[in-house]
Amino acid sequence: MKNLSALINAELDGQIVTTSYYKNPTSATAVGNWFDLSMSPGTPTPNYYATTPLTSTQFGQNESNGLYVGQAISPKTRGIRQIGMTMKNTGSIRGTPFILCDYLMYYSFCDMGFSDWQYMNNTTTLPRYDFGQVMAVCVGSPSGVGNPRFQIKYTNQDGVSGRISPIIATGTQSSVGTILNAASNAINSGAQAAGPFLPLQNGDIGVRSIEAIQFLDSDYGLVSLCIVRPICSAAVINNNAIEKDFLIHAGGEIPIVKDDAYLNFIFFCNDNSFSGSPVMGYINFVFN
């Protein structure tokens, strides 16, 4: 779909799939952190990152009960036509950005109390795309005292193994679902947080697989490393609703979503805890 005419004709021709979502964070989210909505109750059903520890596990709409993107249509192309989103929060929300991601693969239950390299068992590869970005998601809350640091070894977008990320500091308040590498208050011995995705070794733009993780400062807690492909972004302002029409806002270029994509949102908590503040809406996919 390379022009407005093709997109509109596809929509008028009924080549559209509509899906709705409703996610209600139950964990208290700290201001300044990015948060993984895939773990929250609602529709799609929660992702618990539950798998064999340190072993690569793929995500997919069919395998993981993801947000419904429609049936496989390859060789046709699927794109996002519109995203509608509303939020309700008893406090004020000022500029809450969201990123819709295709979750590709994860490695679960990395132990924050273990100071040696923890090596991953890569039994699978990315199901879609050649590479993605990495999030370190809290699945067992650490103390966060002293902003513990960590780094990962990975294979980059070109298939070069043994690459090592910069050292990242985690935040001090980390409920389940928090993206640990992305706390704005995390500074320790020159290491800083960076989010929502882990910074990579100089020259790298993405990750094909994760080889190992090392926690430089001992803490208790469990982390899942998740490789995602960011698809598009949106923002909700002041308890408001948004309807992002990609034909207008993106000049006719719409984000592409692959067959069997496992879609979910991450968001930046800008003001007040989002616990009990549901995010809901719909996505219209058009295919051609």
Residues at the contact surface with another protein, assessed by CB under 8 A = 8, 11-20, 22, 24, 41-43, 45, 61-62, 65-66, 68, 70-73, 76, 82, 84-88, 239-243, 245, 247-248, 278, 280-282, 287
Phi, psi of 233 (to 5 degrees): -125, 160
Closest CA to 64 of 251, 205, 228, 245: 228
- 153's tokens: 């070894």
Between 22 and 220, CB nearer to another protein: 22
Instruction: Write down the least CB distance from residue 247 to another protein, Å.
Output: 5
Instruction: Write down the least CB distance from residue 200 to another protein, Å.
Output: 33
User: Cα angle at 154 between 152 and 159, to 5 degrees?
Assistant: 165
Structural contact between residues 198 and 134, judged by C-beta atoms closer than 8 angstroms: yes
Instruction: Write down the least CB distance from residue 241 to another protein, Å.
Output: 4
Instruction: Write down the least CB distance from residue 7 to another protein, Å.
Output: 9
Between 30 and 93, CB nearer to another protein: 93
Report strand pairing: 263-268 vs 33-36.
antiparallel
Closest CA to 256 of 230, 226, 282: 230
Between 22 and 119, CB nearer to another protein: 22
Between 62 and 189, CB nearer to another protein: 62
Burial of 251 (0-12, 13-18, 19+ CB in 10 A): exposed
Closest CA to 286 of 71, 15, 61: 15
Instruction: Write down the least CB distance from residue 168 to another protein, Å.
Output: 34
Between 86 and 173, CB nearer to another protein: 86
Per DSSP, 165 falls in state P
Instruction: Write down the least CB distance from residue 89 to another protein, Å.
Output: 10
| Size (the chain), residues | 288
Between 68 and 197, CB nearer to another protein: 68
Helix, strand or coil for residue 62? helix
Closest CA to 175 of 109, 89, 273: 273
Instruction: Write down the least CB distance from residue 249 to another protein, Å.
Output: 10
Cβ neighbours of 222 (radius 10 Å): 19
Between 118 and 284, CB nearer to another protein: 284
